[in-house]
Amino acid sequence: MDVSSKTSNDISFDDFKEQIISDYEIAFLSRTCSLLGRKEVLTGKAKFGIFGDGKELPQLAMARSFKNGDFRSGYYRDQTFMMALGLLTPKHFFHALYATTDIEKEPMSAGRQMGGHYLTHSLNSDGSWKDLTKQKNSSADISCTAGQMPRLLGLAQASKVYRELDGLDSAKFSSNGNEIAWGTIGNASTSEGMFFETINAAGVLQVPMVISIWDDEYGISVPAKYHTTKEDISKVLSGFQRTDTDTGFEIFKVNGWDYTALMHAYENAADIARQEHVPVLIHVKELTQPQGHSTSGSHERYKDNARLEWERDNDCNKRFKEWILESGISTEEELATIEKRIKRTVREAKKEAWSEYLENLLSAKKNLVSLIDQAASKSSNKNFLNKIKNDLIAIEEPIKKDLAIAARKSLRYLLGEQTAEKNALNDWTTKFLDEAQHVYSAHLYNENENKATNIKAIPPTYKNENEQVDGRVILRDNFDKLFEKHPNTLIFGEDTGAIGDVNQGLEGMQEKYGKTRVADTGIRETTIIGQGIGMALRGLRPIAEIQYLDYIFYALATLTDDLASLMYRTAGKQKAPLIIRTRGHRLEGIWHSGSEMGGLIHLLRGIYILAPRNMTQAAGFYNTLLKSDEPALVIESLNGYRLKESRPSNLGEFCTPIGKVETIREGSDITIVSYGSTLRIVEQAARELLEVGIDAEIIDAQTLLPFDLDKDVLNSIKKTNRILVVDEDVPGGCSAYLLNEIIEKQGAFKYLDSAPQTLSAKAHRPAYGTDGDYFSKPNREDIFEKVYAIMHEANPNNFPKLR
């Protein structure tokens, strides 16, 4: 649907005069911040700048229709929108540029993200939820292009869930599902697969989302003809337009300089999405980017003179001002007075922000200079220390790095000296470094009392241990208890619903709990994860199912860029306690026996990674996670669903602890650490090793992130003095991580009588078939021979060479 100013005649001049002047003030304020912000980068006070200039008018229109309880999932051009909602002040803007680490002064990330990345605080200081229905909400931005789109789907779906399900405690999260999820994206980024996957999924799910595409016809230096078929994304997506007989999107097209048309378009879009739960796309055309993409380059390098002249003539702020004057809403003199006042306000905000940024640093510098001076007065290296002191004095506007370098280098010249002055400098340095490191490293995981690692273990109990059932039955019946106990828990994925997942771990659950709580999805891993993130941000407890571990790599960007970094990049102000359920490890073939744990444990710091050896352990992890509120990846053993396990009597109650290992066989000669499906093979090998006099202790790592917080592996090595890590990941993968944790972090090297060793899979993917598994991943004979070789090296008389 094209929207022009002709369709906006119903807007009353008298009703909107005050609004129009207010909007002009915000547009001019935002533009002034952008212009001055660029100068701050070019003078060196800030490292990088990316601004919202040229996109002011449509963002004002979006802000007018944005209500309490709504959520934004946008990208780094939306500063005008945030200012219009009162969520971003000029001083906040400059503190973000300077990377101020005070969350009160820089509320978007406490200096962890560059400017232009916006969020609101969803959590109280104790980690509990604020009332999100009483505030306007923005999920935390990421720089990765189109990365905001998968999460947008889940934010919108949450409204659908809250409207459809009875019995949910939605008081802080939704008012009958009336909230809209608002997405923003640049035209060039619509080329990304994440965008198209989200559009398709939203059309299928029919969720209340409004997506704005800011179209300035470029992606950095690349024009639209290289990005988009027909050079027009709304033409490309016209097949998604809903009709009288088919569901789909409502699609609007509007020029970004047409104030009344924009207001009309956004009001219509909001009404449709909010009332009908229909997704809406607004293609905002003819926008400009006056300062180019960012401070890293000038758009004069890639736009010809005709284009640059067109952009100057059609700048949305310029056109808005012309319209105001032509309509008689205001005069040149009145607008000039407003502009002069705003310029003064922005300059004062910049000055105050820089002064506040420097205040603590200058105080710390003064203290450090004094401490170095006092230490120098008692040192034989006085001249060297005085040079460090004087170099520091010369830095008029220091940063933390300058102070850290000066303090640490000073201590080098005090080696071997024992004076009170040296001790004072040392104490200051230790405290300064600890506090600074905490500022930059805190909140990777939950730091409150309800964190998952504080959930106490509750062992499974058995009325009759002889009652043996398939492992998948334990999972199924445990999920049944959880869905009954936690009405805000829902699960979704490919083949999850009607057939109860490919391994029948959810058999009958959809029939019992309905299609909203136990749902099938399309084959679209990225937006399955996005659904989970968005719904978790709005107080639900989603479990997103990825059918096989290998397929998680389709969603890896969303997991690592968004979910894993969420708590960190918001400095603990947002959380998304999403559980990702998948299955992997040993089975058959390249694509269904994935054990790429080395990659995952490094890329997904911020998410717990749990690798249970059987379905009882897996069920216990789900029980633990639903008592806490942190994201986790649970990898069930793909070849364990039909293996028999004793059926616990306290399903839904027993808890497998997170961050703790389990010793499943005690021994005296060597400690073997493994996890998942391979652990069963280790147990088989251990029984055979007994036949040649080798008594192996077996430890199930079971939680890879975090690993062994109680250092039980270290205690085992103190007894056995040997360590072997057996892992079905590639050489140097997860086994290297585990050795780093054991040898370096736990300090086990002091207790070893033999070299620490690993036994991993081959470097290639596992070949198909039983022989493929045998010759690709560690087998029983490999383990036996590896352990025997370690013992032969230690005691060749008792253990002569095997082969």
Residues contacting residue 529 through CB under 8 Å, at least 6 positions apart: 150, 544, 546, 555, 558, 559, 563, 578, 580
**CB distance 509 to 483 below 8 Å:** yes
Residues contacting residue 673 through CB under 8 Å, at least 6 positions apart: 661, 699, 701, 713, 723, 724, 725, 726, 738, 742
Please name every residue paired with 214 in a beta bridge, in sequence order, or none if there are none.
186, 284
Task: State the Cα–Cα distance between residues 571 and 109, nearest whole angstrom.
Answer: 6
Max CA separation in the chain (angstroms):
103
Cα angle value 208/212/217 (rounded, 5°): 155
Task: State the Cα–Cα distance between residues 726 and 782, nearest whole angstrom.
Answer: 10
Instruction: Report CA 532 to chain centroid distance, whole Å.
Output: 12
Q: Establish whether 792 is a catalytic residue.
A: no
**CB distance 603 to 642 below 8 Å:** no
Task: State the Cα–Cα distance between residues 86 and 80, nearest whole angstrom.
Answer: 10
Residues contacting residue 274 through CB under 8 Å, at least 6 positions apart: 67, 178, 179, 180, 208
**CB distance 763 to 729 below 8 Å:** no
Please name every residue paired with 696 in a beta bridge, in sequence order, or none if there are none.
670
Task: State the Cα–Cα distance between residues 403 and 432, nearest whole angstrom.
Answer: 9
Q: Kindly report whether the peptide bond that precedes residue 756 is cis, defined as omega within 30 degrees of 0.
A: no
H or E element at residue 580: strand 579-584
Distance linking the first and last C-alpha atoms of the chain = 78
Instruction: Report CA 710 to chain centroid distance, whole Å.
Output: 27
Task: State the Cα–Cα distance between residues 483 and 5, nearest whole angstrom.
Answer: 51
The Cα-based distances of 796 to 693, 801, 802 in angstroms read 13, 7, 10
Residues contacting residue 372 through CB under 8 Å, at least 6 positions apart: 385, 388, 389, 392, 406, 407, 410, 425
Tell me which of 592, 602, 764, 792 is the catalytic residue: 592
3-class state of residue 778 by DSSP: coil
Residues contacting residue 382 through CB under 8 Å, at least 6 positions apart: 376
Overall residue count recorded for the chain in this entry: 803
For residue 113, how many other CB atoms are within 10 A of its CB?
24
**CB distance 414 to 425 below 8 Å:** yes
In 3D space, the residue among 50, 122, 51, 255 whose CA is nearest the CA of residue 576 turns out to be 122
Task: State the Cα–Cα distance between residues 637 and 645, nearest whole angstrom.
Answer: 13
For residue 582, how many other CB atoms are within 10 A of its CB?
21
Task: State the Cα–Cα distance between residues 528 and 392, nearest whole angstrom.
Answer: 52
Which amino acid appears at position 190 of this protein? T
In 3D space, the residue among 670, 76, 796 whose CA is nearest the CA of residue 682 turns out to be 670
In 3D space, the residue among 73, 63, 62, 68 whose CA is nearest the CA of residue 537 turns out to be 73
For residue 451, how many other CB atoms are within 10 A of its CB?
16
H or E element at residue 723: strand 723-726
Residues contacting residue 276 through CB under 8 Å, at least 6 positions apart: none
Q: Quick one: tokens of 473?
A: 């039955």
**CB distance 592 to 556 below 8 Å:** no
Burial of 167 (0-12, 13-18, 19+ CB in 10 A): exposed
Catalytic residues: 592
